[in-house]
Amino acid sequence: MRTTLYGAPCVAIRLGAVFMAVGLIEQWPRLLVTRADGQLAISAIVLDGLGLLLAFVLWLKPGLLAWWAASSTQRDVVEIDISAPQLQYIAFSVAGIYKFITGLAGMLAHGLNLLVFQHLTEGGIPVSPPTYETTMFAEYVVAAVAGAALTLGARGLTGLLQRLRTAGQPVAVGLDEPGQG
């Protein structure tokens, strides 16, 4: 694989833009649920929309940020001897680690909230946690498990994709020609 020191950050920025957009889209169900007073969270919806706009701009124009990272070395060529299956393996591993760490961070945050609610009392009566706290905790547990599974199973998933991609294609068989031997 051949790239420049400017092209590599562009790829990373586009990957970050995809992660950003997916993370924001995952929030849509919670944004559309009304608040306790029956109103939509308009400010949260506007911020989500602005975040999606930023992700879209970063996808279209990753060079806006990449030139800072590769200012004077834009034309330096980097050659890496890596095959497509190896690149897929790396991509699945990175995505899995990202999801795993995100899940752990969410589990920690919402788990601590749940622990705080266990010790809260109002007038001597224990305060129960909001239902979204337990839901979010469970969601982050699933994300962490899925991230760990993707990271640990990245090689097998890459192999499966390669087998699916080549399924039904004729296999080249090398035959020795007479006279060579």
Please, which pLDDT band fits residue 181 given cuts at 50, 70 and 90?
very low
Q: Two tokens at 105?
A: 């961070």
Mean pLDDT of 46-72: 81
State pTM to two decimals. 0.55
pLDDT in tens, 121-149: 677 777 788 888 888 888 889 989 988 88
Distance between the two ends of the chain, CA-based, in angstroms?
35
Q: Which of helix, strand or coil describes residue 70?
A: coil
Q: Which residue has the tokens 């929030």?
A: 27
Q: What is the pLDDT of residue 53?
A: 93
Closest CA to 89 of 151, 146, 147: 151
Q: Please give the backbone phi and psi of residue 61, each rounded to the nearest 5 degrees, phi first.
A: -130, 65
| Helix 7-26 vs helix 42-60: crossing angle, to nearest 10 | 160
Q: Which residue has the tokens 């020609």?
A: 177
pLDDT in tens, 80-111: 777 777 777 788 888 888 888 888 988 998 88
Q: What percent of the chain has pLDDT over 70?
A: 76
Q: What is the pLDDT of residue 78?
A: 63
Q: What is the pLDDT of residue 87?
A: 76
Q: What percent of the chain has pLDDT over 90?
A: 4
Interstrand relation of 77-79 and 2-4 (parallel, antiparallel or unpaired) = antiparallel
Mean pLDDT of 52-78: 75
Rg (CA), the chain: 24
